Structure formats: C-alpha cells, structure tokens
Chains A and B, each alone.
Chain A
Amino acid sequence: MEQLTTIGLNHYLTISAFLLGFGLFAVMTRKNAIVVLMGVELILNAANINFLAFSKYNGGMEGVMFALFVIVIAAAEAAIALAIVINIYKIFKSVDVSSIDTLKE
C-alpha cells in the first residue's frame, strides 16, 4: 500500500499529458484514418486519467462519472467514425486522410 501511495497526483497527470501528446501527434501525422481515430481515443483517455486521478485525490464521484461517460461516448464515436471511414473507402478507395482534399479554399 505504501509504495502505491507514494505515487502522487503528478504521476498521473504526467502520464495523461504524455497520452495527450501522443494522441495529438498521431492525429496530426498519421495518414491512415483508423490510426487518426486511435489518436483521438488516446486524447479522450488522457482526459479520463485526469478525471479519475482528480476524483481520487479531491474526493467526490463526479470525476468517475465523467470518465464513465467519456468511455461510452468514445465507443459511440468510434462506431460512427468507422462507418464514415468505410464509406470513404468505398468512394476514394483509400483511407489516407491527407489525400482527401477535394474541398478546399
């Protein structure tokens, strides 16, 4: 127990920050739409970690609730996203996000 408690809030926050960074990095750089979406998931999970950590250290259940909802939302989002990506694949025969730029300026 002791060792566990030595891990402070900051550790969680750091990890979540890293997750956020990775997520954004993925979104910005990856070509494949699926990977981009995974990046989004990472961002959301970074938020989740924050929520849980804060709710652990500040007390109160709101954080936990929030995290649960975020997970659900993320799932739903993934579902829609995949649908759209599949449709994109049907039309463009590719899921390369960066190549899809007919609408511009």
Chain B
Amino acid sequence: MHSLIQLSIVVLLLPLLSFVILIFFNRRLPRRGDFIGVGILGTAFAISAYIFWSVIVQTYDPAFRIAWDFTWIDLGNVPGVGPLQIKMGIVIDNLTAIMLAMVTLISLLVHLYSTGYMAGDKNYGRYFAFLGIFTFSMLGIVLSDNLFAIYIFWELVGLSSYLLIGFFFEKQSAADAQKKAFLANRVGDIGMWLGILILYSQFHTFSFEQIYANLAAGKFGLSHGWLTAAGILLFMGCVGKSAQFPLHVWLPDAMEGPTPVSALIHAATMVAAGVYFVARIFVLLTPDALHVIAFTGACTAFMAATIAITQNDIKRVLAYSTVSQLGYMVLGLGVGAYSAALFHLVTHAFFKACLFLGSGAIIHAMHHEQDMRWMGDLRKKMPWTFATFTLATLALAGLPLTSGFMSKDAILAGAIGFAKVEGGGIYYLIPVLGFFSAMLTAFYMGRQIWLVFFGESRTHLKPADDHHQDHHAHASHDAHSDDHHEEHGVHEVSWNMRAPLVILAALSIFFVYSPDPLDGGKGWFMKMIQTPATVVGEANHQIGDLRTASVTSALAEVVPAVEAPAVEAGAHGEAQKGGHGEAQKGAHTYSDVRQAEIVHAGHAAHFTAIYISSIMVLLGITLAFVVYVFNIIDPEKTAIAIRPLYLFSLNKWYWDEIYEATFIKGSMLIANILSWFDTHIVDGIVNGVATLVRKFAYLNDGFDRNIVDGMVNFTAFTVNTTGAMLRKLQTGKVQTYVVMLLLAVFGYFVFYLTRLIY
C-alpha cells in the first residue's frame, strides 16, 4: 500500500475519531473537548498538506493517480455473473489532493473560528462532534474510488448537514430547515442512486475505473439513451447537494444553522461535493447530458443572482450568491470547461468561506442581528473584518487581481467557446446568462458591502419589539450574547475568529494560483487538472466529424445537422457494441476532438470573456454605487415602481410556495386518501355490508363486537345471513321435521328420476 494512501486513510479517520470521542465524552472533558476537535483537524490538515505537497509540488504530473481497494462484500460465485465482490477503495490524484487540502484547511479554520463563535452554547461539545463527522463524510466523498462508497458518504454528508443545520433544534424554523435539507437531498439522491443502478446493472461493479474501462470498451448493454439518462440521473445527485435549480430551495433555509456551519457547508464542503462528483463522472457524460447540465447551471446562476439582489438578511444574500456561484461551476462542467469549473470550486470555497465567517463575525458582534437594514458603519468598529470581507467580496464579484476573476472568466470563456462549437443559437443563452449574473453579483455584493460597512449605523432604526423578539429567539441557544449584550456594544472579534478571516482572504488573491493575474490557464491548477478523455465516444462518432466541419462551416446549416446524426448515433452505438479495441480508439480520438474544440474555442474567447465580464462587473458596481452611495436612484421608489418584479425576487421566485402547494400538500393528500382507503376499503372490502351485518336484526352485541372485517367480514356476513335463514328451519315442531324429511327424500327421488329419464 502506497504511503500516501496510508496517510489519506489516517486523514479520513481522524475526524471520525474526533466525532466518537466528543459525542460520548464531551461533558467529561475540559472545555467540552473543543481542543480535541481543533487539534485533530490540525493534524489532519498537516497530513493532507503533506499529501498536497508531494502530489502537486513534488510529482508535478497531470496524470498522477494511485489507487488501493479491498473487498468489502463478497457475494461468492453468483450464477450468471461469476465471482462477485464489492470493493471499497481509495484513489488519489491531483484533484483529490487539492480537495483534501482544501476541505481539511477550511474545516480546521471553521473549528478554530467556532471556538470563539459558539463559546458558551449548551451543546458546545456536541457541536464539535458534528463538525467532526461532517468533515469525515466529506473526506470520504473526496477519497472514494467507487460510486457505492460515494453514495454512502453522500448520504452521511446529508445526515451531518441535517444534524448541523438543526443544531438549534428548539427553534421550529431550524427543525423545519434541517428536514427540508435532508428531504431535498434525498430527492436528488434517488436520481443519483438510479444512475448508479443503471451502471451496475450493466457491469456488476461500482468502481469508476472498471465502469469507465467497460464503457470505453463499448460493453454498455443498453441503448445510448440509457447512458445519457444515467448521466443526468447521476447529475441529479449534484442538483440536490449543490443546490441547483430546482432543488436549490433548501440551501437558504439552511442558514438556520450556526454561521460557521454555513461557512463549512455552503462554501467548502457539502455544496462542493456535488460539483466534485460531477467532475468524477465527467467522462461518462454524453453530450446530451452535458447540455442538460449546462442549462441547469446557467438557470441556477441567473435565478439565484436575481433573488440575491433583494434579500435583506446578510446570510441569505451570501446563500443565494453561493447558489449562483455553484450555478457557474455546474455551467462550467456542462460546457466542458472542466478545469475552469473545478478551479472556480476551489477559489470560491476560500472566498465564500471568508465571507461567511466574516458575516458570522458581524452577526456575532451585532448580537445576532442579521438584517442588513439595521447595520451600517461597521468599518471603523471592525477593521479586520471589513478588510477581509471586502477582499473576498471583490473576489466573488470577480474583479481583476482576485482568484475569483480568473476562475470565473475561465468558465465564461469556456461557455462562449461551447456556444460556438455547438453552433450558436440557443446555446448562446448560456454565456449571456452567465455574464448577466456576473453583473448582478457585482451589484448585490456592492449593495451588501455598502449597507454593512458604510453609511451611518442604523441599529436604532430597528423596531424595538421586533429586535427584542428576535433576540429572544436566540437567547435560548446562546447564553453568551445574553450575558454581555448590554455592557458593551459592537466590537471587533477575538483573534481565534480573526485569524481564519485573514488566512482565507489571503487565499483569494490571484498569485496563489497563477502568476498572471489575467490568465488562470498559466497557473499550476489548470495545468494539474486537465479535461479527461470521455469514454462514451463511440456514440458521437459522427457528431465528432460534423463538429469539425461545423467550426468552419456557417452556423445556419449546422444546426439541423447537429440533431440528425445524434439520432442515428444511438443506432450506430448499438451496432458498434461488438467492436472493442477499434471503438475504443475511435472513442478517444473523436471525443477528444469535441473537447479539444471547446478548449480551443475557449482559449480563443479568453480575452473576449475578460472584456465583457469586466464591463459587466463594473456596470454592476457602478449601479450599486449609483443606488446606495449617491442615492441617485432611490431603492424604495424603484422597488415600488417595479413592485411585481421586486416581490418576485424578494419571495425567491415563489419556489417554496410552489413546492408547498404541489409536492408537500400533494403527498400529504395522497397519504390521507390512501390511509382512508386502507381503513375503509381494503380493511373491509365490504365494510358497507359489514355495517349491514351490525344492523342485522338477529345480531346481539356480543357477536357484533367480534365481527371480523375485511374478507373475513364478507365470509362472516354471508355465513351469518345464511345461518340466520337456515336456522329458521329448526322450528322446534317435530312434525315440520318429518315434513322436511319427506321433502328431502322426495326431492332426491325427483332428482334421480330426472337423471334416469334423461
């Protein structure tokens, strides 16, 4: 076993250890054992930093990959399949190494930060335990080498987010939010699970390596459509976890959790998991699947941005910006800008974590005031926070010299290239949406900065009772704020909350990633993470051909041509199923053509992208200034002027209401109907008759009580009525008996007589 593997296993298990220790013993330990959590995470980060160093820095090789696995379940010699084992394993490549470092670092910082933020909470120890298991499951996703393991850790992430979001479970809203998050994720997981099932049913394995090998060898037994379906279904997992449209609704509510948790979940780990997973399965996504992904991402980015501009809760703004940024990443993957998307994943992780922790600091300082309308003029009181927060904001808005600038532009460039390659038309919608969202981002972040840090303090403006009530809602879980609230007002936070901010802010400056502030492509990241060769080439055999043509030829004639071969491509794929080696070769070459074109076109579009986006961003910021600094446009008036649009955005496009009305109400309705059906119909196929039975004249209460319903009821009923009639024959008059006797004899006689005659 490679030493790095061993180390990675240690990294994986350390947080679990912290969970186990803290969940059982936190009350017996000094300081509820928070130092254990921090210490363990520190170790974990140290190790993964070493791994990062030795993988990325030492062996500077894009194709670096080591794997190890062991038999987890042995199904023996299965008829029709042969010996069948289910393996668990670990794979380390560049992406893994980077993610490992990132996750552990941010988790460490969050731990550290929480020691200040959560101090005094009555479940302090349990909180760190939950952070531990969360980190554990996230690392599991990062390291796993097969779909099954990923699914397992995927669900575990769901669980730990459930636990953390609902950490203040006495709050009804928190309890709702945690349930919502879990269920929304489950919906996504169903899709993911089905996708996994499709692949397993063909190859009887969960391992990425084998699945890709089989796919490349064209062993996929079902039609090409199934493969596309598999891709989209697997993507659904990401839709759930990475809060893509239409399953994004859980994420803003998840802000009910403690703010550091928001940083952890919504910046570094959980939401990143979805994107990471799509990256892992990137190679088996068919072009059609990729289109779906791209459009989903674009829609998400745009929708979230439009919502963010009207939110007042500081954390909600950030939440929606997260959704929007995730949209970018997914968009990036969809358009095939693989490395750009992942690049953005990492950069975003750092500056968004910074933003959240910063907002946490603010909220902490403001004694759990989250509404930006009552903030303002904090830059003097909290200089550190102000500085870091602003830096991160710039990164998020995507101004030059920041990490966000490079990654976002790479994605947008890819989008343009993609639109070109796919032949324009509808596909140009994607970059357009992307750029528009960029502008919105700049706008709402500018708004936030201004509302929070500039102007004069508006704390006093807040309706008192409202504030009071709000304050009480939190009082239940945070004794700390209770004690010191009245003594002194807003203050800069302590060092253990400041340090993380600084580190994270530093990590969102460009030179960390690339020497050239304008081109991330020159940086180590883009070099290490390169677009892998797809394994589903066989199917877009001719598509490839046409693409090469399409670049040169005019767009108009290509658009129909794109659909046409796609149809017969399926058939072709079926036909091809036999030939392995040839198909494989074909697969690589041709598929690479498509990728190559996109990348190439992306590079071509690089500067276009930079110009457009810079303009957009500047527009956004100017707008923000115009509105909030120079008050040339009065936001209230505007809001009233475009009230419907304003409300639409303020109410988050009414998604919650829609879901409430359709799915939740609907399933509850079905549930009630069915259970009525169960008690009244199934449980008494003839309950109507059964009631008759009860009404039945002869019945005495004793019988009534014992009457058995359902089918038995039916028997009981018929049996009893017949019985009731038959017993009337027993008149008690002996002469009637004699008559009966004779009748019987005579009846039989006639019966046989007829049989004799005929």
Enumerate chain A interface residues (CB-CB to B < 8 A). Answer: 24, 27-29, 36, 97-98, 100-105
Contact = CB atoms under 8 A, between A and B. Distances in A.
Interface residues of B, number: 11
Interface in B728-758: 728, 730-735, 738-739, 742
Given A97-B734, A102-B732, 15 more contacts: A24-B738, A24-B742, A27-B735, A28-B735, A28-B742, A29-B735, A36-B735, A97-B733, A98-B735, A100-B734, A101-B731, A103-B732, A104-B730, A105-B728, A105-B730
B2 interface: no
Q: Sort A-B residue pairs by CB-CB distance and give the 10 closest, nearest first.
A: A104-B732, A101-B732, A105-B727, A101-B733, A105-B730, A98-B733, A104-B730, A28-B735, A27-B738, A28-B739
Contact of A28 (B728, B731, B732, B738): B738
A86 to B, nearest CB: 17
Contacts of B733: 97-98, 101, 104
7 contacts: A24-B742, A28-B735, A29-B735, A101-B731, A103-B732, A105-B727, A105-B732
Contacts of B728: 105
Contacts of A28: 735, 738-739, 742
Contacts of B731: 101, 104
A39 to B, nearest CB: 9
A71 B734 CA distance: 25
A38 B728 CA distance: 29
Contacts of A100: 734
A35 to B, nearest CB: 11
A101 B737 CA distance: 12
Contacts of A27: 735, 738
A27 B727 CA distance: 23
A21 B728 CA distance: 27
A103 B738 CA distance: 16
Contacts of B734: 97, 100
A65 to B, nearest CB: 27
A97 B730 contact: no
Contacts of A105: 727-728, 730, 732
Contacts of A104: 730-733
A29 B59 CA distance: 119
Nearest to A98: B733
A100 B735 CA distance: 10
A78 B345 CA distance: 113
A60 to B, nearest CB: 28
Interface centre among A36, A98, A100, A102 (most CB of B within 10 A): A98
B739 to A, nearest CB: 6
Contacts of A98: 733, 735
A29 B738 CA distance: 10
Interface centre among B731, B735, B738, B742 (most CB of A within 10 A): B735
A101 B732 CA distance: 4
Interface in B315-345: none
A18 to B, nearest CB: 16
Contacts of A29: 735
Nearest to A29: B735
B8 to A, nearest CB: 85
A27 to B, nearest CB: 6
Contacts of B735: 27-29, 36, 97-98
A27 B742 CA distance: 11
Contacts of B727: 105
A102 to B, nearest CB: 7
A88 B513 CA distance: 119
Interface in B337-394: none
Interface in B697-742: 727-728, 730-735, 738-739, 742
Contacts of B738: 24, 27-28
A102 B731 CA distance: 9
B612 to A, nearest CB: 98
Nearest to A24: B742
A63 B601 CA distance: 123
A24 B738 CA distance: 9
A13 to B, nearest CB: 17
A36 B738 CA distance: 11
A101 to B, nearest CB: 3
B222 to A, nearest CB: 70
B231 to A, nearest CB: 75
A28 B734 CA distance: 9
Contacts of B732: 101-105
A14 B732 CA distance: 34
Nearest to B732: A104
Contacts of B742: 24, 28
Contacts of B730: 104-105
B697 to A, nearest CB: 14
B396 to A, nearest CB: 91
B619 to A, nearest CB: 98
Nearest to B727: A105
B703 to A, nearest CB: 15
A30 B714 CA distance: 43
Contacts of A101: 731-733
B745 to A, nearest CB: 10
A89 B62 CA distance: 119
A101 B733 CA distance: 5
Nearest to B742: A24
B699 to A, nearest CB: 14
B161 to A, nearest CB: 71
A1 B728 CA distance: 57
Interface string B18-51: 0000000000000000000000000000000000
Nearest to B734: A97
A4 B457 CA distance: 145
Interface string B209-238: 000000000000000000000000000000
A44 to B, nearest CB: 15
B25 to A, nearest CB: 76
